Structure 1
Amino acid sequence: MPEVAPIPLSRLTTLRTGGEPARLVEVHSADELIRALREAWAVGEPWLVLGGGSNLFVGDEPFDGTVVRVRSTGIEELPGSRPDTVRLRVQAGHDWDALVAETVERGLAGIEAMSGIPGTVGAAPVQNIGAYGQEIVQTLIEVELIDEATGDVSVVPAGELGLGFRTSVLKQHYGSVPERSAVILSVTLELERVGDGERPIAGDQLRSALGLDAADAVSLRWIRDHVLATRARKGMVLDAEDPDTWSAGSFFQNAIVSEAFARTLPAACPRWPMSPVLDPVTVIPLAAFDGILPPPPVEQREVKVSAAWLIENAGLSRGFRFPRSRAGLSTKHTLALTNRGEATAAEIAELARFVQSRVAAEFGLVLQPEPVLVNVEL
């Protein structure tokens, strides 16, 4: 388990911010990861697990603790629950998009719409990554993890991870600690064997994003290629030559609000119900029926609303930045706060706070950051 010379986290994160850690360890297997974490936990020092660095916003000050950089890779094929499925157990440090490319090559369906998402496999369940109607919760079977409280390793079913919209019991939300402090060692997914042929695509969101009708049939390869092209147009595929991709992806989460609050927003604001709208069914015993139907129950559903629309309609256009600041909104996608070149974390935080204040003033809604914030405040 080699300890390497510390380097600034700005060189290891896609937002390109972060000071130098006191100690940097690179691990290349689950066993090395377990040993590194147990050592850090035993001395009680601050610790940070780093995969692809794509969902982190790190402050400018040095990190006074151990950073464990996870480089473990590998895919193990296991029997699925049905003849037409297969399970893949993937090591935490495996590149997520490399995994997606491998599944498409093998003709395995279930994660192809999540092509181009940066980061590592171990980070994927932590915030239940998703794109275009696919989320990892739909294919995740279990994770192997190590708990900080006990140092024990266990296999945890997906149903015990509290997976929701960009969240889980493992995620450290801004201003809070995770419900369960643990680190993922491996992830097991169950995917469907569909081959490389064309087939109709389920899911309105994916069809809409790709311009498909319900009857259109396409291959997994076609979906991957078009998702990558769509994300690239938005600056959401990492490119060392494109400052629009020097970001943590979507910096703010799409907001989850009540239907009542959503009705206070302009009708043009895109929104998506978080649960299906079902016609209520009322059963009345015939002997008790007096000819009058009771009013249907009032159910308060939650609605997801577009943070990008709120930002743009609060008067902040793509490419916005303060004079002389090296941080700015992406010129392609207002949800991404970008490092235009040597920006400090303080500059990016200043921009984030301004975006929050403008949306709150215009629409009465405080946008929440999606990345994990380390040594930095908004």
Structure 2
Amino acid sequence: MTPPARGTNEDGPWPRRDARGTDRTLVHVQELHDAPLAPLTTFRLGGPAARLVTATTDAEVVAAVRAADESGTPLLVIGGGSNLVIGDRGFDGTALRIATTGFHLDGTRLELAAGENWSDAVARTVEAGLAGIECLAGIPGSAGATPIQNVGAYGQEVRDTITEVVAYDRTTGETVTLTAAECAFRYRHSTFKDQPDRYVVLRVRFALEDAGGLSAPIKYPETARALGVEAGDRVPAAAARETVLRLRAGKGMVLDPADHDTWSAGSFFHNPILTDEAYAAFLARVQDRLGPDTAPPAYPAGEGRTKTSAAWLIDRAGFTKGYGTGPARISTKHTLALTNRGEATTEDLLTLAREVVAGVHAAFGVTLVNEPVTVGVSI
């Protein structure tokens, strides 16, 4: 029998193993079986996937999603793996790794493919003299993940600059374009998190600012102090980016294979947002426990709501930097990061996370919510 020409696939939509069990790649799509997933996450934790497909174009992403949906196969979409906790048993389905590339800058309009490295993309916009995402430097992961949880840090959020998100809608089977309003962005949330099984992000579009090489107005007090300016001032965009990178590195929030404090998902817990009633009860418990003059961090979070600091809660509940004796511990640089010291399992990590959640609730009556997505496990 004459073998099929390259670019066709008589075995179906994706590669299959040959009679000797060797993985084959067809139409640029790589498929592996019983594939390790831990190396694809910043935690370096988790068991294997029954099947791992790597897609390098939007068409391949869509075809992989459709193939999984049509066959009823569970699907796990992986970008940079920086916000993912995978169970030790792994994933019994198709893991789709999005490895698409594309950085297109037209004036102040930027379009990124979902698989583009986010931190590298930020650097390129700063090099181009544009403002709007310079304070989001050093955040690990891919561009496609940024709208999902409305990534933010140091006074900027992607909702400030995102204009559109192109996604594959698994409900309708069509590629759609969502406006920023349709994305329904709010603190670490979006319509993509509201409907986690509906959309697969393909491309993200931004409107940046040409401020003559200057940054957007500096909003975050820590950044302003480090730069020696007042909140609201502008500085060279490159200086803002470099300062944020230094601040993040000091907290173990810039990936470094040699530094186990960065073997994490960054901030593991959301900063709690409390109603006025809940905040009053929280404040009473804080002052009862720590003294009547103690004032916890408090930031306006919309009418009738106040945001407080998860890191402050964790520290004041007794979980200080470096807490733990096992292979999963709190970072030695930042109490909000849970880390793999090199030999941890996912269960080790979850045990630590549950201890922190229980301890904070016992101390202050506030229940912390994990920020990373969990697969096959729960806190």
Aligned to 1:249, the other structure's residue is in SS state: coil
How far 1:7 moved relative to its partner? Answer: 2.7
Specify the alignment match of 1:169 in structure 2: 191
Residue 153 of structure 1 aligns with an amino acid whose one-letter code is: T
Residue 159 of structure 2 aligns with an amino acid whose one-letter code is: V
Specify the alignment match of 1:230 in structure 2: 247
Specify the alignment match of 1:279 in structure 2: none
Tell me whether 1:153 sits opposite 2:175 in the alignment: yes
Specify the alignment match of 1:274 in structure 2: 301
**How far apart, CA to CA, are the structure 2 residues paired with 1:21 and 1:63?**
5
For residue 108 of structure 1, the aligned residue among 130, 152, 170 is 130
Specify the alignment match of 2:355 in structure 1: 354
Tell me whether 1:339 sits opposite 2:362 in the alignment: no
Aligned to 1:244, the other structure's residue is in SS state: helix
Tell me whether 1:126 sits opposite 2:145 in the alignment: no
After superposition, what is the alpha-carbon deviation per residue over 1:46-85, rounded to whole angstroms, capped at 9, x for unaligned? 1111111000011000311001111111122346xxxxxx
Report the CA distance shift for 1:13/1:333 in structure 2 as closer, same or farther (over 3 A): same
Q: What TM-score do you get using the length of structure 1 for normalisation?
A: 0.86
Specify the alignment match of 1:69 in structure 2: 97
Q: What TM-score do you get using the length of structure 2 for normalisation?
A: 0.86
For residue 21 of structure 1, the aligned residue among 38, 41, 49 is 49
**How far apart, CA to CA, are the structure 2 residues paired with 1:133 and 1:88?**
20
Report the CA distance shift for 1:6/1:87 in structure 2 as closer, same or farther (over 3 A): farther
**How far apart, CA to CA, are the structure 2 residues paired with 1:217 and 1:190?**
18
Aligned to 2:171, the other structure's residue is in SS state: coil
Tell me whether 1:328 sits opposite 2:318 in the alignment: no
Higher relative contact order (CA closer than 8 Å, sequence separation 6+): 1
Specify the alignment match of 2:307 in structure 1: 304
**How far apart, CA to CA, are the structure 2 residues paired with 1:94 and 1:62?**
25
Moved over 4 A (4+): 208-211, 214-217
| CA contact 2:57–2:100 (8 Å) conserved in 1 | yes
Tell me whether 1:99 sits opposite 2:121 in the alignment: yes
After superposition, what is the alpha-carbon deviation per residue over 1:106-137, rounded to whole angstroms, capped at 9, x for unaligned? 01100000000000000000000000110000
Specify the alignment match of 1:10 in structure 2: 38
| CA contact 1:106–1:195 (8 Å) conserved in 2 | no
Equivalent pairs, count: 340
| CA contact 2:273–2:306 (8 Å) conserved in 1 | yes
Q: Which runs of 5+ in 2 are unaligned?
A: 1-28, 287-293
Residue 151 of structure 1 aligns with an amino acid whose one-letter code is: G
After superposition, what is the alpha-carbon deviation per residue over 1:122-170, rounded to whole angstroms, capped at 9, x for unaligned? 0000000000110000000001101122221111111111211001121
Give the alignment of 1:245-324 within 5 angstroms.
Answer: 245-263=262-280, 264-265=282-283, 266=286, 267-275=294-302, 301-321=304-324, 323=325
Report the CA distance shift for 1:180/1:49 in structure 2 as closer, same or farther (over 3 A): closer
Identity %: 46
Specify the alignment match of 2:158 in structure 1: 136
Q: Which runs of 5+ in 1 are unaligned?
A: 80-85, 173-177, 276-299
**How far apart, CA to CA, are the structure 1 residues paired with 2:216 and 2:48?**
49
Residue 51 of structure 2 aligns with an amino acid whose one-letter code is: R
| CA contact 1:110–1:139 (8 Å) conserved in 2 | yes
For residue 201 of structure 1, the aligned residue among 186, 209, 217 is 217
Aligned to 1:7, the other structure's residue is in SS state: strand
After superposition, what is the alpha-carbon deviation per residue over 1:313-343, rounded to whole angstroms, capped at 9, x for unaligned? 001111011x4x2100000001100000120
How far 1:5 moved relative to its partner? Answer: 4.8
| CA contact 1:247–1:336 (8 Å) conserved in 2 | yes
After superposition, what is the alpha-carbon deviation per residue over 1:342-373, rounded to whole angstroms, capped at 9, x for unaligned? 20111100000000000000000100000000
